[in-house]
Amino acid sequence: MSNPETALIKIEGQVLPPFQFNDAAKLAKSQALEQAALIGKVSDRDSKIIAVRAQQALKLVISSIEKDRKKFKEPLLNAGRQLDNLCAQESLLLEQEFGRVSAAVTEFDDAERRRVLEEERLQRLELERIEREKQAELKRIADEQAAREERTRHALEEAARKVREAQEAAAQLAREATNKKQREAAEKARVESERQKALAEAEKTRQEAVMREERAKSEAQSAAVEEKAGDAAYCAAKPVEITKVFGQRQQSNWVITVEQPFVLAKYHPDLVDIKPRLADIKAALNEGREIHGIKAVREHLSGVRLPQAQKAIDV
Q: What are 255-276's pLDDT values in tens digits?
A: 899 999 889 989 998 999 988 8
180 confidence band (pLDDT: 50, 70, 90): confident
- C-alpha distances out from residue 304 to 55, 63, 248, 314, Å: 7, 12, 61, 20
CA 185 – CA 198 distance, rounded (Å):
20
Give Cα 127 to chain centroid, integer Å: 26
pLDDT score recorded for residue 174: 80
311 confidence band (pLDDT: 50, 70, 90): low
The whole-number average pLDDT for the span 101-130 is 91
Handedness of CA 229, 234, 237, 240 (dihedral sign): negative
Single-letter residue type at 159 = A
CA 275 – CA 260 distance, rounded (Å):
17
pLDDT score recorded for residue 9: 73
315 confidence band (pLDDT: 50, 70, 90): low
Q: Tens of pLDDT along 19-63?
A: 888 888 899 999 999 999 989 999 999 899 999 999 999 999 999
> Residue 7: pLDDT above 80?
no
- Smallest Cα–Cα separation from 249: which of 104, 129, 109? 109
pLDDT score recorded for residue 137: 93
b/e map of 152-189 (b: 16 or more CB within 10 Å)?
beeeeeebeeebeebbeebeebeeeeeeeeeeeebeeb
* C-beta separation of 182 from 173 below 8 A: yes
CA 140 – CA 138 distance, rounded (Å):
5
313 confidence band (pLDDT: 50, 70, 90): low
The whole-number average pLDDT for the span 68-82 is 90
pLDDT score recorded for residue 257: 92
pLDDT score recorded for residue 65: 92
Q: Tens of pLDDT along 82-114?
A: 999 999 999 999 999 999 999 999 899 999 989
Q: What is the mean pLDDT of the chain?
A: 87
Other CB atoms within a 10 A radius of the CB of residue 60 amount to 19
Find the helix packing angle between 45-176 and 23-37, rounded to 10°.
Answer: 90
pLDDT score recorded for residue 1: 45
* Alpha carbons within 13 A on the beta-carbon side of 190: 12
Domain spans of the chain? Answer: 23-236
What is the percent of the chain with per-residue pLDDT over 70, rounded to a whole number? 94
158 confidence band (pLDDT: 50, 70, 90): confident
Find the helix packing angle between 180-236 and 45-176, rounded to 10°.
Answer: 160
